[in-house]
Structure 1
């Protein structure tokens, strides 16, 4: 087995199907070209870079931009040019048909970058960037609409899909997540059924600060390829969606100070975060570094579950996790390296006289000091009293008060989602840590 050559990470493009709401009561639907009837001429319609027609919803801080495309039902025999324009009638039509009263983002705050050209034989145009900025007179955390319409002489504009309303939430005036006492509230989010933007829905009642400080994307995997005998980082379609479209799902979190961390978990094969040899640790750390740099991530979180390690050639006997953590910290000194206090990642000895774990995150209900588990770790790196949102597991008020009073690092919420939101536990933690309750505003459902 050759662990020096790590398989290059490859992300597949996603096919978009039916979409659901990603902000308040805005319904976002996918596009299906099958519904268009050929009426003797080609029909032109709009989609955005995420494959949506009619409408989409994005978040921006100070400024934002996204790409739009003109699509036609028949490939042209000669090049065609179309115009995407700001058109208030598109929003009027939307509000009338949906019984809503959304306000437009003023046209002077919107810039549309040029025409859309469809080449011979193609059915999709070149990208047209639609950019937008904030202004002093916009509402704090307000939702505004950018109404768009496609026009052109070469094809009939689709009555249903020729208009597009882009909803944008302006978080420019919202405070960041940094609280004065530095206590961390970590959201370890099960991305298979949740949208990371949901973490932006929770703010402290008085200060307005965001409640969550870190979001762990749970989870990427360490996988083994039996054909190449290599280990590699695998990310399923849900993690891939968030990474591929980081400007939509991840950057708004980071713009308000939240750290975005990639979880690394076993995946039911021989590869584990505990059994790589030293060269394998170095190579896998190099791949994780490349992933973090490519997608602007703030670190990695290791969880030793769901692997099937054994006496395999090229692997070592349990437990070489400290070396993997060390190689990650050595190659990514500016990134966070975190571990779940469970199985093979529940301890990490000093390596080269360094404790590479920045945060040790306790299993549910775990409240003991982690100095013996992670020698050299300060108390501020110890995350105690974790909450399991799906099952309602949470510690007592006294536990969270002790975390603050004794100088520990904070706590973690696992599997937060719109249908798994334990406001009682959230307020219990917030009162103990920050002396105020939490306000929830809106929801962000998974929209892919």
Structure 2
């Protein structure tokens, strides 16, 4: 079978199994022979590169939908497409001189339903990170003193342990650093101190950084060395920040809220991609396998992405 024939076969398989449940089987004679042997491939820790990180806004999308995307090949084996999901987001807040950790109602519902929302993803081999962002107050990740850094880190550690999460992601947006004078002057050094403290408390967990706002653009080498992944807001073939190894950088970062970059650009980028991660920002409820297949076959030996027909509702508790 030549490459064109194989690709055509994979596309036919995707169209068929993308319309049936996760088991990829039903009683229709036309697909029974193809689907009855479809099985999930066991994922080893470092088996798939580049890794794919999905950010899910938990006030808009049920995270279980991340687990409905699979890679499929002509042997009818499948494995989960996404490697990491960031639950976006919980906020740092500042009330009466104290820093706190706030989960909005949707995020709180996801965390409190860890056995039915988080654990099924982890059983598929998907790492689940707590997404943290600035909370629209005057104190954030980049202007805390040492005592506040320790207090906030302990709150994050408690959340990680309570809900059985696999790590944390930092997004230094939305904090009004300029509106307060009683705190240390905001800086990348102070953000780095927070990340270093989190690494001390979470030696075996993942730490990632969303490089978009605040003071994420000038982290020092010591901080770069201890984070696992860094993702820009969107784009293709961006040079990694100074001091960050290429395998920690998502030089293909697809923002599905702004639809940037375009599918044609993604296809071109896939031809030259070398980094260790791909970032999918704001994964929606709708099926986006068409966009994912602009790069997946190139990266993963001709395998294609399909999404099952299971769509998990946002407000599942109602």
Q: TM-score range by the shorter chain?
A: 0.7 to 0.9
Q: Is 1:237 the counterpart of 2:105 in the alignment? A: yes
Match of 2:186 in 1: 318
Identify the match of residue 149 of structure 2 among 281, 288, 291: 281
SS of the residue 2:252 aligns to: coil
**1:167-195 C-alpha deviation (Å, 9 max, x unpaired):** xxxxxx53355573431111100110111
SS of the residue 2:290 aligns to: helix
**1:196-244 C-alpha deviation (Å, 9 max, x unpaired):** 110111111214011100010011111111x3x1111100111111110
Change (3 A) 1:354 1:186: closer
| Distance in structure 2 (CA, Å) of the matches to 1:383 and 1:401 | 15
Change (3 A) 1:396 1:366: closer
SS of the residue 2:209 aligns to: strand
Identify the match of residue 266 of structure 1 among 121, 124, 134: 134
Match of 2:295 in 1: 429
Identify the match of residue 227 of structure 2 among 345, 357, 365: 357
Match of 1:174 in 2: 40
**1:333-370 C-alpha deviation (Å, 9 max, x unpaired):** 1111111111312332134x872221111121153232
Q: Is 1:224 the counterpart of 2:94 in the alignment? A: yes
Match of 1:370 in 2: 240
List aligned pairs for 1:249-260, cutoff 5 A.
Answer: 249-260=117-128
Q: Is 1:393 the counterpart of 2:264 in the alignment? A: no
> Number of matched residues?
275
Identify the match of residue 218 of structure 2 among 347, 367, 371: 347
| Distance in structure 2 (CA, Å) of the matches to 1:356 and 1:311 | 31
Give TM-score scaled by structure 2 length: 0.79
Q: Does the Cα contact within 8 Å between 2:98 and 2:148 map onto a contact in 1?
A: no
Q: Is 1:332 the counterpart of 2:198 in the alignment? A: no
SS of the residue 1:329 aligns to: helix
List aligned pairs for 1:126-205, cutoff 5 A.
Answer: 140=23, 174-176=40-42, 180-205=47-72
SS of the residue 1:310 aligns to: helix
Report the CA distance between 1:383 and its aligned residue.
1.3
List aligned pairs for 1:8-19, cutoff 5 A.
Answer: none
Give TM-score scaled by structure 1 length: 0.57
Change (3 A) 1:192 1:282: same
SS of the residue 1:402 aligns to: coil
Name the Cα RMSD after superposition.
Answer: 2.5
Q: Is 1:439 the counterpart of 2:310 in the alignment? A: no
| Distance in structure 2 (CA, Å) of the matches to 1:347 and 1:259 | 27
Identify the match of residue 246 of structure 2 among 347, 371, 379: 379
Structure 1 stretch 188-197 or stretch 424-433: which is displaced more? 424-433
Structure 1 stretch 270-279 or stretch 186-195: which is displaced more? 270-279
| Distance in structure 2 (CA, Å) of the matches to 1:25 and 1:430 | 21
Would you tell me which structure has more strand in proportion to its own residues? 1
Q: Does the Cα contact within 8 Å between 2:138 and 2:179 map onto a contact in 1?
A: no
| Distance in structure 1 (CA, Å) of the matches to 2:112 and 2:312 | 18
Report the CA distance between 1:425 and its aligned residue.
1.7
| Distance in structure 1 (CA, Å) of the matches to 2:170 and 2:236 | 17
Identify the match of residue 281 of structure 2 among 414, 419, 424: 414
| Distance in structure 1 (CA, Å) of the matches to 2:155 and 2:250 | 27
**1:65-119 C-alpha deviation (Å, 9 max, x unpaired):** xxxxxxxxxxxxxxxxxxxxxxxxxxxxxxxxxxxxxxxxxxxxxxxxxxxxxxx
Q: Does the Cα contact within 8 Å between 1:140 and 1:174 map onto a contact in 2?
A: no
Q: Is 1:215 the counterpart of 2:81 in the alignment? A: no
SS of the residue 1:209 aligns to: strand
List runs of 5+ in structure 2 lacking aligned partners.
Answer: 1-18, 27-38
| Distance in structure 2 (CA, Å) of the matches to 1:201 and 1:311 | 43
List runs of 5+ in structure 1 lacking aligned partners.
Answer: 1-23, 27-138, 144-172
Change (3 A) 1:363 1:354: closer
| Distance in structure 1 (CA, Å) of the matches to 2:266 and 2:161 | 39
Q: Which one has a bigger Cα radius of gyration?
A: 1
| Distance in structure 2 (CA, Å) of the matches to 1:231 and 1:318 | 15
| Distance in structure 2 (CA, Å) of the matches to 1:290 and 1:175 | 33
Structure 1 stretch 303-312 or stretch 283-292: which is displaced more? 303-312
| Distance in structure 2 (CA, Å) of the matches to 1:409 and 1:194 | 26
Report the CA distance between 1:278 and its aligned residue.
2.4
